[in-house]
Amino acid sequence: MYEVELKVRADHGPVRDRLERRDARHLGPVTQVDTYYDAPHRDFAETDEALRIRHEQADGDEVAKLTYKGPLLEAASKSREEHETAVADAEAARGLLDGLGFAPAAEVRKERDRYHLDGYTVTLDSVDGLGEFVEVETETETDDIERAREGAAALLESLGLDPDQGIRTSYLGLLLDTAEDDASK
């Protein structure tokens, strides 16, 4: 399965109003803490891959997921292969990764408010250290990536956002860039 995602910086207020006017289905808020790992056998920054454990809290429930994200597939979006599975014991998953030589690299914390509209998930993200973003995403097969991206762009436009302002860098990458900029000052 492939994830097709467009992300832009945006103030949430006007977007939330447009979502409500369009009768988007509110899926609710969620808190996510993502711990990203470095691999012992290759540099994920060079290969544009990611491996993470995500802790998610929503409606009083807590879930942990292990996710692998492959390299970006195209220049116009954040489309990539993605495999994700729930893990019953996050500490055990951490132990497995540690035992195999994977080392925690960074953590990303965010508050998300999720909606469903026109076959897409629209997420209003508040990311610690970065600010507010809007993501529009869906899952698809490889032969549908262009159609899915075009639909995501049209949905962003209908919410008053400019898909040409899209950000292909992950939140992890943005945080690391911010840390580098701060260190060079």
State the catalytic residues: 36
Tokens read off for 13: 């207020």
Please report, to the nearest 10 degrees, the dihedral formed by the alpha carbons of residues 167, 67, 47, 70 taken in order. Answer: -80
Q: Return d(Cα 103, Cα 106) in angstroms, integer.
A: 9
Q: Which residues contact 113 (CB under 8 A, 6 or more apart)?
A: 12, 16, 26, 28, 29, 123, 124
